Amino acid sequence: MKFGHFDDKEYEYVITNYNTPLPWINYYGQDGFFSLMSNTCGGYMFFKDAKLRRITRFRYNNVPRDYGGRYYYINDNGTIWNPGFLPLKTKLDSYKCRHGLGYSIFESEKNNLKCELLCFVPLNDLCEINQLTLTNNSKETKKVTLHGVVEWCLWNAVDDQTNFQRNWNIGEVEVDDSTIYHKTEYRERRDHYAFYHTNIKHDGFDSDLDTFLGLYNSWCDPSAVLNKTSYNSVASGWAPIASHMFNLEIKPGESKTVIFQTGYVENKEDEKWEKLHVINKEKAYELQKKYATKEQVLKAFNNLKTKWVSLLSTLKVKSDNEKFDRMVNIWNQYQCMVTFNMSRSASYYESGTGRGMGFRDSCQDLLGFLHLIPEKSRERIKDIASIQFEDGSTYHQYQPLTKRGNADIGGGFNDDPLWLIAATSQYIKETGDYSILNDPTPFNNKEGSEKPLIDHLRASLNYIITHKGPHGLPLIGRADWNDCLNLNCFSKTPGESFQTASNFESGKAESVFIAGMFVLYGKEFATILNHIGNKDEANKILAEVKSIEDATVKYGWDGEWFVRAYDAFSNKVGSHECEDGQIFVEPQGFCTMARIGEDLGFGKKALDSVEKILTNDYGVEILHPCYKEYHIELGEVSSYPMGYKENGSVFCHNNPWIVIANTVIGNNERAFDVYRRNCPAYLEDVSEIHKTEPYIYSQTIAGRDAKNYGEAKNSWLTGTASWTMYAASQAILGIKPDYDGLMIDPHLPKEIKHAQVTRIFRGIKYNISITNNASGKYQMTIDNKPIDGKIIPYNKDITEVNVIITL
């Protein structure tokens, strides 16, 4: 069942049934001011850091689920309704929520009164604009009251949810004719405030929640709305809100527009005050003036749209597969950009208070947006590398506002260091710019500890080389990519975090997955070293690669697939010898990509096993059979009920590894088959089962052993976005940035017979026409001349290249 449809021309998903199986959300913002917006107008806003600088409040884990947002109440002769259906749930005569790239448009109608609500965060400004237009489609004049409202969060979102004994005393606002300023803690250590502004004079306001709602009322029956009034309350403590009311008289055929703006301002220490207790509003006035008219809003909206069109022009495909095209051209790239902004911090499944930017997560995310924003990617790589320690180990996360490593979680995730090589090598391939290797980059953000970035990459490899276990395989530490394989944890205490519980390091628990990573990225680093003329060092690294490769062939192969790990007692994990968890997907993908045991046919066998044992209707499950019982020696993985999360769901993140691995062994049909199984556009028709947004990848889809087989969870902030983007563009379409030029090595399934690709690479526009006759023969011609090989060497003197590939 569908709840809407794609509008590819407008780059939108149009939700036409507000009763979606879960909130279907969107993100706005790019320059520090960010918003989450659901199809019911739910969500919240923050500046840069969803934990430390939360602007509006969201009540998590709520009943019903999606409460807290920017709400508009329209009282039309006693019929009260909201353009996004919630909170009142008044049945609408018509409803559309068009989620586009960085904006949403709600179009709803009730009793011949139409509401169009345009919501977005403009480029380069720290505010969210909500432009609301009411049109009277009836034959009589309507007298309508309109209330708009947001609830302020007292900045630190964790403290806001917990420290009521203090927080219920500190709320402060300032109110003038058209604006409510939220200035809690501005008198003491904060240099920032937020404001809620409307472009026309209101007929009343409220800034105190209890007064607006009535103490025993809810968002469904606000006293002010029911009584068509405002109480002009000025909050002092308790819960500050911002609400403006308008009495609108709208003639038949007439439209009236109000522009609501929620903004954020920072002032320098000596510019904080206009006079005692009166905040300096200069910057707020500037922002207010910029969005005072419909023309200004339209212009800013068009600028945003144009920016996206130009960004997405970097990679475009037109093939005979509409669903593939819409994911590659629009939604997959868009999701990658959202992971650039959010990492794993703020979604409807990540509270925004728990996690900052992950080391491994952000490195992998880079693979998906590097082609779109190479400059920002370079900065990001430096930020990430700066939380590495001199021995090569790393903090697992950092807070975006402070950019300091997160001490609560610490380090010890032994895959982390290697992802830095994945990201940096991809940066060089995309840009051809080796100078990043010389960028002075501190260790653990310590001033004076700066070393060229290349030393960080060396340290990464060295950490693995110096931390091997009894089989010569890399030690796993607290966990590797699979956060829940906590082989050194042994947790018996309820509620204890499996990731940080113990510092115990058996010196024995080893990861075959990290071995695959080391081989793949060790070779990559050696290639870089050869390019910059460090041949001896490259050879030394290759010798280390060989040693781990040999250990993997000897101890990491189970006969039909790669073993997953050795536990703290040197017992195998992910082997036919185990009762449950006999096969895990991760090493099958990575060791095949790394071509470990290629001459022995390992990759082919491993991927056959993946198809036979792990593949379900929605993709490849992470392991099989699911753990039926809690195994203290394995950690969190066995704590999940069967079929969920790391215990046997389709963990979508590693499915693209299987797609890529299949192209490595030349099985193009199977590669596309895996791609298709959990591609959201392909699951649109079964949205009632899949449940999350049909335009966005989710982290997991419940596996065959789960009660709710096929149900997805944790949409948006997942490495699935970047890896799928990588798999679709670099493995399936085969458009691969390489050190010396652009390689074109498509692995299209038979069903895609033709693909026309435009790729802008290092400033050159490549028009690539691929015809797939599935002949097994590859031929490339450039500007009508046949070319040997698959790489188009980079030539800075040209601006456009026409390439024809036949397969």
| 647 interacts with ligand BGC by CB under 6 A | no
Q: C-alpha distances in angstroms, 523 versus 11, 70, 455, 565, 730?
A: 39, 51, 16, 22, 18
When binding is defined by CB under 6 A, the residue of 467, 595, 624, 645 that contacts ligand BGC is: 645
Residue closer to ligand BGC by CB (options 388, 499) is 499
Nearer to ligand NOJ, 45 or 418 (CB): 418
Return the structure tokens found at 111.
Answer: 């009793």
Catalytic residue among 439, 483, 558, 745: 483
Inter-helix orientation angle 668-677/655-664, to 10°: 170
What angle, 0 to 180 degrees and rounded to 10, lies between the N-to-C axes of helices 294-312 and 332-342? Answer: 110
353 binds ligand BGC (CB under 6 A): no
528 CB-contact burial (10 Å; exposed 0-12 / middle 13-18 / buried 19+): buried
CB of 351 to ligand BGC, least distance (A): 12
CB of 592 to ligand BGC, least distance (A): 23
At its nearest, how many Å lie between ligand BGC and the CB of residue 499?
5
Mask for 435-474, x = binds ligand BGC (CB under 6 A): ----------------------------------------
The reply to whether 194 sits near ligand BGC by the rule CB under 6 A is: no
- Choose between 424 and 654: whose C-beta lies nearer to ligand NOJ: 654
Torsion, Cα of 134, 139, 141, 147 (10° steps): -30
Contact with ligand BGC (CB under 6 A): which of 173, 484, 650, 674? Answer: 484
Look at residue 361 and give the partner it binds from ligand NOJ, ligand BGC, none, a contact being a CB closer than 5 to 8 Å depending on partner kind: ligand NOJ
411 binds, among ligand BGC, ligand NOJ, none (CB under 5 to 8 A by kind): none
Distance, CA of 549 to CA of 783 (rounded, Å) = 42
Closest to 26 in 3D by CA, of 330, 299, 293, 258: 330
Tell me phi and psi for residue 102, to 5 degrees.
85, 15
CB of 586 to ligand BGC, least distance (A): 13
Number of residue whose CB is nearest ligand NOJ: 483
Number of other residues whose CB lies within 10 A of the CB of residue 178: 18
Q: Could you tell me whether strands 800-806 and 764-771 are parallel, antiparallel, or unpaired per DSSP bridges?
A: parallel
Q: Return the number of the residue (38 or 647) whose C-beta is nearest ligand BGC.
A: 647
Q: What are phi and psi of 345, to 5 degrees?
A: -85, -60
Q: Provide the greatest CA pair distance for the chain.
A: 85
C-beta nearest to ligand BGC: residue:
483
| C-beta closer to ligand BGC: residue 329 or 499 | 499
The one among 12, 350, 646, 684 contacting ligand BGC by CB under 6 A: 646
Residues forming the site for ligand NOJ (CB under 6 A): 344, 358, 360-361, 481-484, 646
In the complex, what is the shortest distance from the CB of residue 358 to ligand NOJ, in angstroms, rounded to a whole number?
5
CA atoms within 13 A on the CB side of 348: 25
Q: Which does residue 499 bind out of ligand NOJ, ligand BGC, none, counting CB within 5 to 8 angstroms by kind?
A: ligand BGC
User: Which residues, 6 or more positions from 414, have their beta carbon under 8 angstroms from its beta carbon?
Assistant: 393, 463, 464, 467, 474, 475, 476, 477, 478, 480, 511, 514
Q: Peptide bond preceding 83: is omega within 30 degrees of 0, i.e. cis?
A: no
Q: Which of residues 117-176 bind ligand BGC (CB under 6 A)?
A: none
Mask 607-636, x = binds ligand BGC (CB under 6 A)? -----------------------------x
**Cα–Cα distance measured from residue 443 to residue 744, given in angstroms and rounded to the nearest whole number:** 38
| Integer Cα distance of 412 and 381 in angstroms | 20
Does 361 help bind ligand BGC (rule: CB under 6 A)? no
Closest distance of CB 520 from ligand BGC, Å: 21
Nearest to residue 160, comparing CAs of 20, 72, 295, 58?
58
Give the count of residues interacting with ligand BGC (CB under 6 A): 6
Residue 103 · residue 303 · CB < 8 Å: no
* Residue 499 interacting with ligand BGC (CB under 6 A): yes
Whole-number Å distance between alpha carbons of 230 and 247: 11
Judged by beta carbon, residue 98 or residue 645, the one nearer ligand BGC is 645
Cβ atoms 28, 116 nearer than 8 A: no
- Minimum CB–partner distance for residue 640 and ligand BGC (Å): 7
Smallest gap from residue 687 Cβ to ligand BGC (A): 24
Q: Residue 109 or residue 483: which is nearer to ligand NOJ going by CB?
A: 483
Q: Helices 416-431 and 453-465 meet at what angle, rounded to 10?
A: 140
How many other C-beta atoms can be found within 10 angstroms of the C-beta atom of residue 544?
17
Residues 350, 439, 480, 483: which binds ligand BGC (CB under 6 A)? Answer: 483
Residue 53 contact, options ligand NOJ, ligand BGC, none, Cβ 5-8 Å cut-off depending on partner type: none
483 noted as active-site residue = yes
Give the catalytic positions in this structure: 483
Contacting residues toward ligand BGC, per CB under 6 A: 483-484, 499, 636, 645-646
